[in-house]
Amino acid sequence: MSSFQKNFQTTWQFLKNAGVSTFLGFEISLKSFLYLW
């Protein structure tokens, strides 16, 4: 059970980091697009 919890925590952290980086990249690209527009 604890090993499953550990794996779940690691996966959740990875997904959270990926989501944050994707959101930041999207925001940056959107701002640059508006700036170029």
Torsion over CA of 13, 14, 17 and 22, rounded to 10 degrees? -150
pLDDT tens readout for residues 8-36 = 999 999 989 888 889 889 999 999 988 88
What predicted TM-score, i.e. pTM, was given to this entire model? 0.52
pLDDT of residue 35: 86
